[in-house]
Amino acid sequence: MTLTELRYITTLAQLQHFGQAAERCNVSQPTLSIAVKKLESELGVDLFERSKSSVRPTPVGDQIIAQSQRVLEEAAAIKDIATSGKDQLNSPLHVAAIFTIGPYLFPHFIPPLQKQAPQMPLVIEEGYTSSLRKRLRSGEVDVIIVALPFTEPDVVVQPLYEEPFVVLIPENHILAAKQEIEHSDLDGENVLMMGEGHCFRDQVIEALPNINQNPNETAPIRTMTEGSSLETLCYMVASGLGITILPQSAAMGASYRGNALATRPFAGTAPSRTTALAWRASFPRHKAIDALRIAINERNLPGVDIVKSSGLRNL
């Protein structure tokens, strides 16, 4: 039994797909499959139920995978302790962000971070909050960028900035004549949403609970299509399929896409979200975290308010 094998089974349990798990672990699918079978043979139990369409943990597999996750977390803590004796700005920093933040934040903070810490290699990736939470705990990433609320035992959470939501519409839409959008203006509109699993979808529904509750049956086009990304939603709006809600940072890029799109703010107190950094409480490279936070706060995005806050430790 090895840490590598434990990482294979925890990743497979998370993704429930051999091909995707192998890609995540940077090995071939046969390599991962053989390793899982070898561990099952060593333990004398089946860890997964396999079918042509799915793979899922068995009841005993669930228990072993949960224990494996704890072992990986402790192993990551050992690496953190060892790293504390090295130059904090001279070894790779693994940063991950949720899908609705990464594309709009990475290009802004990477250049200033490289200027601050030119000898610190940066490894970046994107994912869902649920998967990044697990990868942070297992030590596969060092720090994640998420939207609040976010709580996790033994993880420090530090708010970064707050940004409002805006409405994205075609330039020829009736709402384009308004300077600000009232919540009631969305009644009867086909508001395109992110798909299940995206926390931004949940934030929009929480802020605007009446969204898509009063369908306009006379609309020439109605769609229940959900976007896999904010970029997909922008192109769907440009195609005339409806309107959508975006965070301010994502809306900034809409005017550069060459499409006839317009953004409008909400009237009054706009719905908003707060973006935060989260890292393991045991992570010793505080200078790397400080450099990352400073680089993010230097990007000067219009309409975004920096949150003045010290780290909040969730234990």
Q: What CA–CA distance (Å, rounded) separates 100 from 245? A: 12
Strand 191-192 relative to strand 243-247, pairing = parallel
- State residue 37's pLDDT score: 93
What class, spelled out in words, does domain 93-161+273-314 have in CATH?
A: alpha beta
Handedness of CA 285, 288, 292, 294 (dihedral sign): positive
| Rounded-to-integer distance, Cα 242 and Cα 240, Å | 6
The architecture that CATH gives domain 164-265 is 3-Layer(aba) Sandwich (3.40)
Q: Say if 3-83 and 93-161+273-314 have the same CATH topology.
A: no
Is CATH 1.10.10.10 what the domain over 3-83 is classified as, yes or no? yes
Report, as an integer, the average pLDDT of 120-130: 91
| Percent residues over pLDDT 90 in the chain | 41
Residues pairing with 165 in the sheet:
247
What is the model's pLDDT at position 255? 53
Domain boundaries, the chain: 3-83, 93-161+273-314, 164-265
**Residues linked to residue 197 through DSSP beta bridges, in sequence order:** none
Which pTM was predicted? Answer: 0.70
CA R_g for the chain: 22
With H, G, I as helix, E, B as strand and everything else as coil, classify residue 177. helix
Of the chain, the percentage scoring pLDDT greater than 70 comes to 85
